[in-house]
Amino acid sequence: MEQNERGVWGSRLGFILAAAGSAIGLGNIWRYPYVVGENGGAAFVLVYVTCVLVIGLPVLIAELSLGRRTTLNPVGAFRSLSNSKAWPWVGYLGVATGVGILSFYLVIAGWTLGYIVRTLIPTTEDFTQFVANPVEELGYFLGFLCLTVIVVLGGVEKGIERWSKFLMPALFVLLLSLISYNLTLEGSSAGVEFYLKPDFSKIHGSTILAALGQAFFSLSLGMGTMITYGSYISKRENIPVSATAVVLSDTLIALLAGLMIFPALFSVGMEPSQGPALVFNVLPRVFELMPGGAFIGLAFFVLLAIAALTSTVSLLEVPVAFLVDERKWSRKKAVSIIAAATFVVGIPSALSQGSSELLTTMQVAGQTGFLSLMSHLFSNLSLPIGGFFVCIFVGWVWGTKNAVEEIKLGTGETAQRIFWGWELLVKYVCPLTILIVFLNIFGVFG
Ligand code: PFF
């Protein structure tokens, strides 16, 4: 770390855990359930899983190989493999998207801190009042930003990797226990049906875009996070195997989160399509019902906060790696300036949950409120667009032949057919699918 301000992962497992730590976060436990709820349940889940396997996994492999080949941040990676001045703009888009996502993600991450404090010091204030209190909203947002800064300043190995190691097993066990409890609640079977019995009439163009956006968001793709994380892996790393491990664990946690939420939601008689507040409205009600619920609630929100932290760290790492590599800034300067910018950009999101009438009720692009708009713009538009260009770049500019050479350094010559399938996906299937989803949204097919 010290020699060149960059660094490398300490071990193979360390890398997988850190990449999975980036992928697994609020996207799985906060965003996935409310997007499933807004898009009609089980049918959406099927489209989502298809997007993850057919588009997410190949794009993840593409990003990791691009990062490892160049050992650079996204802007530098595109620049170093092509002569055109246009490609680094895909990297810039990623850097901007990092700040954009971080700005609203930290607000939600702040809610987890708020819940921890509220469990320890009980109040009469309910969730709606809590999020509408500008002092609390901005305070917890800033608090989580500071936690992120502390970890990122620690650097790749000491900071990010160490944090990722303990989280997943604990989160996994807690999810399983909550699922088994929630399934015993009266009326929960309606939730199981909503979540697992597909009604295909609910699938529209916008559903598919939402599934695609959620796949990119959940796997941390399309903004260069995985290019940046790939730049810290060794040549011996088996990229396809690690990528598959990340995709499977991320998807498993999301699927389980749905199974935890929907039975409970139907049992307490709430609406599935209530948007970003969903998990924060449902779970505390369940914890109230449960014997020992206060303690379990505390454990849950602590783990959720840690899961969020390993993701916020990866979001901040993209603009920081860019400034350290390209502008030769010190890590400290890069982290401070990006953190300050993120705070400013995030203020309207923090105030959009009841503090400011205008920001809370504004309706743009089918979204209500500033935070939902940010989440839609950056996750559903910016990330798939970034992913599209990653495919075009790896498929046609750098070339899948070169990419496969890079990947083979860690896998050897085996599994030639797998490479062939991956090339087909990256060159044709992924970019064409993304393009069709977008053209459809813009009404090109009528
Ligand atoms: N994948 C993270 C989650 O699901 O919570 C969010 C995220 C992290 C998105 C990093 C994008 C990213 F680059």
* pLDDT, mean over the chain: 91
Q: For 79-104, how does the pLDDT look when each residue is reduced to its tens digit (9 = 90+)?
A: 999 989 999 999 999 999 999 999 99
Is a pLDDT exceeding 50 seen at residue 371?
A: yes
Total structural domains within the chain: 1
Tell me the CB-side half-sphere exposure of residue 385, using CA atoms within 13 A: 16
CA dihedral 423, 212, 342, 111 (to 10 degrees): -130
- Reference 305, options 173, 171, 180, 178; nearest CA is 171
Is a pLDDT exceeding 60 seen at residue 421?
A: yes
Asked whether residue 109 is assigned to any structural domain, the reply reads: yes
Q: For 181-214, how does the pLDDT look when each residue is reduced to its tens digit (9 = 90+)?
A: 999 999 999 999 999 999 999 998 889 999 999 9
Q: What residues make up the domain containing 355?
A: 3-441
> How confident is the model over 227-245, as a mean pLDDT?
92
Q: For 17-53, how does the pLDDT look when each residue is reduced to its tens digit (9 = 90+)?
A: 889 989 999 999 999 999 999 999 999 999 999 999 9
Distance CA 12, CA 20 (A): 12
Q: What is the pLDDT of residue 152?
A: 87
Residue 446 pairs with which residues in a beta bridge?
A: none
CA–CA distance from 235 to each of 41, 151, 162, 231, 423 (Å)?
41, 26, 21, 10, 20
Q: What is the pLDDT of residue 441?
A: 80
Q: What is the pLDDT of residue 6?
A: 62
Asked whether residue 349 is assigned to any structural domain, the reply reads: yes
Asked whether residue 375 is assigned to any structural domain, the reply reads: yes
Asked whether residue 111 is assigned to any structural domain, the reply reads: yes
Q: Which atom, in ligand 1's list, is nearest to the CA of 98?
A: 13
Spatial CB neighbours of 24, under 8 Å, sequence gap ≥ 6: 167, 168, 171, 249, 250, 253, 307, 310, 311
pLDDT bin (cut points 50, 70, 90) of residue 10 is low
Asked whether residue 42 is assigned to any structural domain, the reply reads: yes
Ligand 1 centroid from CA 219, angstroms: 6
Q: What is the pLDDT of residue 407?
A: 93
Hey, what are 201's tokens?
Answer: 């009439």
Q: What is the pLDDT of residue 445?
A: 74
- pTM for the full predicted model: 0.93
Is a pLDDT exceeding 60 seen at residue 341?
A: yes
Is a pLDDT exceeding 60 seen at residue 223?
A: yes
DSSP per-residue string spanning 416-429: HHHHHHHHHIIIII
Q: What is the pLDDT of residue 157?
A: 59
Q: Which atom, in ligand 1's list, is nearest to the CA of 225?
A: 13
With a pLDDT cut of 70, the percent of the chain lying above it is 94
Q: For 156-188, how does the pLDDT look when each residue is reduced to its tens digit (9 = 90+)?
A: 556 556 666 666 788 889 999 999 999 999 999
Which residue bears the tokens 């979540």?
Answer: 195
- Reference 26, options 284, 217, 222; nearest CA is 217
Asked whether residue 446 is assigned to any structural domain, the reply reads: no
> What ranges in 183-289 are assigned the alpha helix state H?
189-196, 205-218, 225-230, 239-267, 278-289
Q: What is the pLDDT of residue 236?
A: 87
Distance CA 102, CA 40 (A): 27
Ligand 1 centroid from CA 98, angstroms: 9
Nearest CA to ligand 1 atom 7: 220
Asked whether residue 198 is assigned to any structural domain, the reply reads: yes
Nearest CA to ligand 1 atom 12: 220
Q: Which atom, in ligand 1's list, is nearest to the CA of 28?
A: 4
Is a pLDDT exceeding 60 seen at residue 4?
A: no
Asked whether residue 74 is assigned to any structural domain, the reply reads: yes
Q: Which atom, in ligand 1's list, is nearest to the CA of 315?
A: 10
pLDDT bin (cut points 50, 70, 90) of residue 1 is very low
Residue 368 pairs with which residues in a beta bridge?
A: 363
Tell me which of 399 and 1 has the higher pLDDT.
399
Q: What is the pLDDT of residue 247?
A: 98
CATH of the domain at 215: 1.10.4160
Ligand 1 centroid from CA 304, angstroms: 14
Pocket of ligand 1 (CB under 6 A): 22-23, 25-28, 101, 217-218, 220, 223, 225, 311, 314-315
Ligand 1 centroid from CA 217, angstroms: 5
Distance CA 91, CA 78 (A): 7
- Reference 157, options 337, 24, 388, 3; nearest CA is 3
